[in-house]
Structure 1
């Protein structure tokens, strides 16, 4: 019965105001964008992060590479867009006068992570070298600004200090990513291949690490972390392998999830990201088009509720910003994220897009100017706002949209500064109410409530969204719509009736958008399937005429239905080219699948660099692709590697790899 009472009370308070109409605006034209989205002002825009400012612009930030060939490195870059089709470059985050005073001369500034909380914009970033130990002791810095364009003021010291490795060096304290979690605490994820990724709690103001860090990934596998909260899960995502191997880069992003922001994070198969046989469910990897090495990403959700991944990648045809083996050309790309069986997959598993695709949905329907919303509402008062966000709308009592929202699905989102209680009503069927220390959601005859953190500050700008689909109804309060959460309430879905969107209570509202929800994709993209057997060998006799050797190894024996081949102290990467190869003629045509059953006992948890075995597609010692199980320090990974000549002038080769999948358990 409490759900009926709350629903009735809310609807009584928001009876239709005079002067409204049921008229609905025509659908907006679909805006298209084509990767790379930063091509209008930059050739490279690596390690991107993104946030929507209260002025309605989306601001993107990048690491300190030169934007163009022979350009200056800069001190991290920023640009902005309203529609993801056209961009404006705004310059660098720091200059020589404003950069952190504790950074050593010549230090680089990498991987900015942008957030908004407590009334200010907060940026975390990597400082590659500090004055405390000049020579390479990376640390995490933090700076604040009143607007997303700056000016940025760095703190007097790192938020996470360099971590000695005990051998005279320092672990990789790099690649920060902040998260505000449902417990009201702020967490910072940081680290990379050397030492693994850890999470530390931050002080409430986000300026200092507190407590003891928790390691959430094994070393030698992940960097570039980003964490989002969805449907009761914290999803950790990290990039794997070498970001910057030019035309052979195999960088990719993988995910694990946990009920706790501290982990443990497990992949879709239940494997932990801390295991020696390291887990990770693919979020994005190369797909055979021109884009390779997609990774070091951020997340955003558009006005239609569609999630997107923002990342850098390399065009295999123009991989270098400078001469071969110099700076890699890593522009910024964007693609949609589909949630398949509870896991984030880029374009349902298709990976990076190459041609025109729909851009993220921005702005509002129903004739609402999202950055000056009062004009699209009845019962709201226009406030002049401030230099950060411009005009806003004051709701005190009751207000509603001038036009009716369409039936079916709907997403209503706004930056809100709450006064007393504040209620949003959609289609006369869904009520989301913030009152006291609770977020209460009513959908039809169902109701649920969740508590807000004890120190939740309703007087600051926060993000409030209410989304209704036939599968679920969700109300959420968070910092900035970047996967963070103060409270999220969910109920089973329903189909809305067409009606104005209504509000009751007291709040200041900005960046108001009302949109139909993007149609979700819930099935994975098709993958190649095996057909009839074209050729093969069960090794039940001697090798047939289809086999040939390159550097024959007499220790390889065919007997008892298997090929037994002891490990060699040899390799095929680089200039050594002393590994033996047993080759079989490939079938005719360019569409075939090769497979074999392989057993290599690499153990677990110890260092066995770089024991490996697998299959190879071979043209020459300097042009091949290989797939195998490999021991990389304490990890055991399935690696797809590629070597080719990257500098024809002297025959210098480039080798890169992607770690796709997990090695099978020995004996399985």
Structure 2
């Protein structure tokens, strides 16, 4: 390899922490921008797409929306994806278009989307459509039929064929994930052009739990992520995102506890959930990776203070938000588990250091020619032989990324000691006398623009070739090099390629530790049910079938409920400790079986102001799943007293389940209740928070009811204790 002349001293600073963004990031042009997906175009802009809700109060429904940004602070609205003249001819009149998923491969932009009603059948028969375009803004040309057709449920209706998400996997195949609560999520292989489904689909989640899927490849794992519970219950929306992972794009996907997402007692590792600030219902997301190698989650959420787009009970107001993703112990966590941000946070790193204009990179390189490029991408840098940056890159962790049109062999050299090469049908990294390689698919198309990233993060070296930097992969070579210390030096390239959107940046400092969670301290109060209920207990609608015996409270489930107008269930309350923070805990035994319908048998803890304002944490049967539901009911419309009920999910369910609710007050004096669950009483999964009004003192206690279909006699909920601890 011929050496080039040394560059100037390192002049690249780390990403500027003064560049901030504040949620919601779409506030400058829209009140709602739901189910977002996002991609960096060849012109360097980031393009975002959203479902067909009206953008603003009392506005018209669109045919999916488009917007773009360079810095995630300033946005430009670009109109709708389709017009009435260009929308798919096979969509029924009045059909909605939901959940666009944007990709780039084969030299064109490809968008998958939900069509809620087709001309093929009477009534709602959702299907997945696909359209292509030469640019991120269109014109979009829909195919003449769905890529996934409506699916019969066998009972005269149709399964939820919604919410598509594409993945290009390391086997060179394209996979489309789709589906929702009615029927579960499945994955099907697509034809190489991405326009037709082929083969037999594989179901990857149980029904009644997940929708809004998104899959990324990282460190040899495919991470499936899906949104759970209800997206759109206004101020009681508890939507959240959970993950499982697999070595295969077809699964099975297991969560951190080793539980499959197809298990009746389903779990899922929390990616994002609400934290007690103003944002509730964070979900239906996409992923991006910025120029510093930092992953971000793009999602919608609801401001609990302004949940509706129109009144009365209009469209849910779901703007687009963005936050940092931290990979901790092999799992994606939003802000290390803190969840949605409310104030200013560092924006994604965009553009390049080293004096490089990423969209016209030739000027920042020595030895590269400048090509006019095309109308889509603009001018490019042409490398034939050798080229290098005019300035030296700093030592330590570094990321180099570019859109590349590969000629022959092409190598990226960092610090004169790390070499990443795409050649001979494989990707190879060499560092510290170590080598790792990964094969490119046999049909990998070098004649099209692809994304190439080379990164040194600490002592780990990786090189990945993929479609568009959205978590997909054609090949990734990764190497651990103990003691590696990358030196400051120009970045060099050897071989033949055309390069665009070139960025050179120090790698973002990874966060490796989860944020603190509530922990129990001194025992403050409680009852182990060693004797009859004392004066610290009180009832609302006392149930005489609940008895204390043998050191337990045994309570047959009432055929009753608390949701809506059915306020006929008994509730048992215990006095709560004084002070602004404590943790309540109970241990519950409730056998709900598996795989059959027992709607909605449940028991657990309840935080209660009145019959129309409460939060309920329970082990519950929801159709064929067994879930831990943390529900919330409140008056959604004070004008007429109408209530709304929604829920979040926390951890997995089990016949014996420990539950905690941690109480605190926020800066506004509101009452915040965060829930946690455990299947062994030792390892806790902490999840969503619900906020009840300031200036009031909610009660806390136990419940056992369900308004259920099923067992006779009724299942019995057995509580071992209810205790209150100091919160540490």
TM beyond 0.5: yes
Q: What displacement does 1:586 show?
A: 1.5
Post-superposition CA distance 1:526-563 (Å, at most 9, x none): 01111111110010001010101111111111111000
Q: Which residue among 641, 646, 649 is the counterpart of 1:656? A: 646
Partner of 1:56: 44
Cα RMSD over matched residues? Answer: 1.0
State whether residues 15 and 349 of structure 2, in contact with CA within 8 Å, keep that contact through their aligned partners in structure 1.
Answer: no
Q: Which residue among 153, 168, 171 is the counterpart of 2:159? A: 171
Q: Does 1:307 align with 2:319?
A: no
Q: What displacement does 1:279 show?
A: 2.1
Q: Does 1:240 align with 2:231?
A: no
Q: Which residue among 600, 611, 622 is the counterpart of 1:610? A: 600
Partner of 2:705: none
Partner of 1:3: none
State whether residues 10 and 394 of structure 2, in contact with CA within 8 Å, keep that contact through their aligned partners in structure 1.
Answer: no
Q: Does 1:546 align with 2:533?
A: no
TM-score (norm 2): 0.89
Cα separation, 1, equivalents of 2:29 and 2:195: 33
Partner of 2:239: 251
Partner of 2:458: 470
Q: Does 1:363 align with 2:366?
A: no
What secondary structure does 2:362 align onto? helix
Partner of 1:561: 551
What secondary structure does 1:348 align onto? helix
Partner of 1:593: 583
Partner of 2:143: 155
Post-superposition CA distance 1:252-299 (Å, at most 9, x none): 000000000000000000000000001200000000000000000000
Q: Which residue among 40, 62, 68 is the counterpart of 1:74? A: 62
State whether residues 410 and 516 of structure 1, in contact with CA within 8 Å, keep that contact through their aligned partners in structure 2.
Answer: yes
Cα separation, 2, equivalents of 1:628 and 1:247: 20
Cα separation, 2, equivalents of 1:433 and 1:609: 57
What secondary structure does 2:253 align onto? coil
Q: Which residue among 316, 321, 332 is the counterpart of 1:328? A: 316
Cα separation, 2, equivalents of 1:258 and 1:407: 35
Partner of 1:9: none
When structure 1 is superposed on structure 2, of 254-263 and 552-561 the one drifting more is: 552-561
Cα separation, 2, equivalents of 1:164 and 1:29: 53
Cα separation, 2, equivalents of 1:443 and 1:579: 67
Cα separation, 2, equivalents of 1:273 and 1:402: 50
Cα separation, 1, equivalents of 2:358 and 2:312: 46
Q: Does 1:274 align with 2:262?
A: yes
Spell out the pairing of 1:445-464 with structure 2 (5 A cutoff): 445-464=433-452
Q: Does 1:109 align with 2:74?
A: no
Cα separation, 1, equivalents of 2:29 and 2:57: 12
State whether residues 417 and 431 of structure 2, in contact with CA within 8 Å, keep that contact through their aligned partners in structure 1.
Answer: yes
State whether residues 104 and 134 of structure 1, in contact with CA within 8 Å, keep that contact through their aligned partners in structure 2.
Answer: no
Q: Which residue among 628, 632, 636 is the counterpart of 1:646? A: 636
State whether residues 324 and 646 of structure 1, in contact with CA within 8 Å, keep that contact through their aligned partners in structure 2.
Answer: no
Q: Which residue among 124, 131, 145 is the counterpart of 1:136? A: 124
Post-superposition CA distance 1:468-494 (Å, at most 9, x none): 021411100000000000000001142
List alignment gaps of at least 5 residues for structure 1.
Answer: 1-11
State whether residues 64 and 76 of structure 1, in contact with CA within 8 Å, keep that contact through their aligned partners in structure 2.
Answer: yes
What secondary structure does 2:302 align onto? strand
Cα separation, 2, equivalents of 1:121 and 1:427: 35
Cα separation, 1, equivalents of 2:604 and 2:14: 53
- Number of matched residues? 655
Spell out the pairing of 1:350-429 with structure 2 (5 A cutoff): 350-429=338-417
Partner of 2:724: none
Cα separation, 1, equivalents of 2:656 and 2:574: 26
What stretches of structure 1 move > 3 A for 4+ residues in a row? 25-30, 665-668
Cα separation, 1, equivalents of 2:579 and 2:82: 54
Cα separation, 1, equivalents of 2:400 and 2:641: 58
Q: Which residue among 330, 333, 350 is the counterpart of 1:345? A: 333
Q: Does 1:522 align with 2:509?
A: no
What secondary structure does 1:262 align onto? coil
State whether residues 4 and 387 of structure 2, in contact with CA within 8 Å, keep that contact through their aligned partners in structure 1.
Answer: no
Q: What displacement does 1:630 show?
A: 0.2
State whether residues 101 and 164 of structure 2, in contact with CA within 8 Å, keep that contact through their aligned partners in structure 1.
Answer: yes
Partner of 2:701: none
What secondary structure does 1:374 align onto? helix
Cα separation, 1, equivalents of 2:338 and 2:8: 43
Q: What displacement does 1:444 show?
A: 1.5
Q: Which residue among 5, 18, 22 is the counterpart of 2:9? A: 22
Q: What displacement does 1:85 show?
A: 0.6
Q: Which residue among 473, 478, 481 is the counterpart of 1:485? A: 473
Q: What displacement does 1:17 show?
A: 3.3
Q: Compared with structure 1, are the counterparts of its residues 27 and 570 closer, same or farther at alpha carbon in structure 2 (3 Å cutoff)?
A: closer
Q: Which residue among 266, 282, 285 is the counterpart of 1:294? A: 282
State whether residues 17 and 378 of structure 1, in contact with CA within 8 Å, keep that contact through their aligned partners in structure 2.
Answer: no
State whether residues 311 and 334 of structure 1, in contact with CA within 8 Å, keep that contact through their aligned partners in structure 2.
Answer: yes
Q: Which has the higher strand share?
A: 2
When structure 1 is superposed on structure 2, of 636-645 and 184-193 the one drifting more is: 636-645
Q: What displacement does 1:329 show?
A: 0.1
What secondary structure does 1:594 align onto? strand
What secondary structure does 1:148 align onto? coil
State whether residues 298 and 309 of structure 1, in contact with CA within 8 Å, keep that contact through their aligned partners in structure 2.
Answer: yes
Cα separation, 1, equivalents of 2:632 and 2:56: 27
Cα separation, 1, equivalents of 2:250 and 2:267: 16
Cα separation, 1, equivalents of 2:57 and 2:414: 51
Q: Does 1:41 align with 2:29?
A: yes
Cα separation, 2, equivalents of 1:580 and 1:665: 22
State whether residues 49 and 297 of structure 1, in contact with CA within 8 Å, keep that contact through their aligned partners in structure 2.
Answer: yes
Spell out the pairing of 1:433-452 with structure 2 (5 A cutoff): 433-452=421-440
Cα separation, 2, equivalents of 1:413 and 1:120: 20
Q: What displacement does 1:26 show?
A: 4.8
Q: Compared with structure 1, are the counterparts of its residues 426 and 436 closer, same or farther at alpha carbon in structure 2 (3 Å cutoff)?
A: same
